[in-house]
Amino acid sequence: MNQKIILNKSNFLFLLESLSKINDTAILNIKNGEIYFISNSEDASLILWGRTEIDFEEEKVLNIPSVSKLSSALKMCDGSEDVTLILNNNNLEYRGNKIKFKYHLYEDGLIAKTKMSLEKIKSISYDIEFNVSKNFIKNLLKTNSAFSDSNKLYIYTNDGQLYWSLQDKTSSNSDVICITSGNVDFELSDFIINLDNLRLLTFIEDNDFNFKINTKFGVANINLNFEKVYLNYIISSLVK
């Protein structure tokens, strides 16, 4: 039986575009009026849990062969922000006044699931939390491009200041530049981020970045919200 999924086009496109930067194939889960995914980078050092609200109360799994292709189709939908997709047996169908399309889905099992479960993500607790502006992160990346050949960022505290150090401590000839983002009331030893992972976050405009760090397991959570789209980036610290 055909079923209708009603969603906000802008929010859903934003969700898909954030996902496409991590992976172009994906498993979208629908549950409790939300559509969500968990996807990881190729080296599994970054995991993204993204979600937004939709009008559909049943539980469904959509296996998406190409996130970018689905985004392109949705961008051509008629002007209304509310888009209705028809869920058929093996495809998503759109019937607009000016355009119609069918987007075929993969069968279950063809796309590998991310090893990190939603339950595991929700169970992680964090003992350090701080905010930093998007402009700070953008300037940090610009500084790295101009000054350093390293692709590593070391985040640590010293004398009550939070430092962001561009260098590679495994290389004896690595140039070093350190920038502070201000006073903090916690202590943090080197948390090492692959800068490629940080670059995936900067397409979101006018947002502060909320960092949470689990110092015991070396895991950071960066939370970003846009309208009713919620993005949680889970980044593992690199080995020293």
Nearest to 49, CA basis, from 29, 75, 72: 29
Using pLDDT thresholds of 50, 70 and 90, give the confidence band for residue 78.
Answer: confident
Three-class HEC string of 41-53: CCCCCEEEEEEEE
* Under 8 Å between Cβ of 200 and 46: yes
Higher pLDDT, 165 or 134: 165
User: Which has more pLDDT, 45 or 147?
Assistant: 45
Q: Which two tokens stand for residue 205?
A: 């405009």
The residue behind tokens 């049943």 is: 58
Of 68, 73, 66, 63, the C-alpha closest to 9 is: 73
b/e 96-133 (16+ beta carbons within 10 angstroms → b): eeeeebebebeeeeebeebebeeeeeeeeeeebebebe
Among 71-80, 86-95, 147-156, 199-208, the least confident range: 199-208
CA distance 141 to 28: 31
pTM of the entire predicted model: 0.90
pLDDT-derived band at 161, boundaries 50, 70, 90: very high
- Residue 22 is classified by DSSP as T
Q: Which domains does the chain have, with CATH numbers?
A: 3-123 (3.10.150.10), 128-236 (3.10.150.10)
User: In terms of pLDDT, which residue wins out, 147 or 37?
Assistant: 37
38 in Cβ contact with 111 (< 8 Å)? no
What residues have CB less than 8 Å from 145, skipping those under 6 apart?
Answer: none
pLDDT digits (tens, 9 = 90+) for 169-200: 888 777 888 999 999 999 999 999 999 898 88
The overall average pLDDT reported for the chain is 91
